[in-house]
Amino acid sequence: MKLGTLGRVVAGIALAATTFTATVAPAQAQGNFEAAFDSTLGTEVRAPRDFAPDYSNPLVAQIAQIADGSNGRIGVAAIDLSTGQEVSVLGDQPFPLASTSKVAIAATYLEGVDQGRWSLSSEFPLMIPVASRPFSSTVAPVRAGQYMTARELIEQMITRSNNTATGALLAAVGGPAVVNDWARRAGIANFNLTRDIATLVRDDGEVNPAAQIDIRDSATPRDMVKLLSGLYQGKWLSASSRNVVIGAMERCRTGTARIRGQMPGDVRVAHKTGTLSNTSSDIGIITGPDGRSIAVAIYVTGQGGKANRDAKIATLARVLYDGYGESARQWASARYPSSGSSSVAAN
- Kindly list the averaged pLDDT for each block of 10 residues, start to end, along the chain of length 347: 31 30 26 36 36 67 86 94 90 95 98 97 97 95 97 98 97 97 95 96 94 93 96 96 97 96 94 97 95 96 95 95 74 48 30
Length of the chain: 347
Residue 257 belongs to what H/E stretch? none
Rounded CA gap, 9 and 162, in Å?
28
Q: What is the pLDDT of residue 330?
A: 55
Q: What is the pLDDT of residue 329?
A: 57
Q: What is the pLDDT of residue 144?
A: 96
Domains belonging to the chain, first-starting first, are 11-339 (3.40.710.10)
Burial state string for 80-90 with b = 16 or more CB within 10 A and e = fewer than 16: bbbeebbbbbb
Give the pTM: 0.81
Q: What is the pLDDT of residue 65?
A: 87
One-letter amino acid of 82: S
What is the edge-to-edge ordering of all strands in the sheet holding 293-301?
A: 86-89, 74-80, 293-301, 279-287, 268-276
Contacts of 307 (CB under 8 A, 6+ apart): 257
Q: What is the pLDDT of residue 325?
A: 81
Q: From residue 247, give the alpha-carbon distance in Å to each of 39, 46, 100, 243, 270.
A: 38, 32, 16, 5, 7
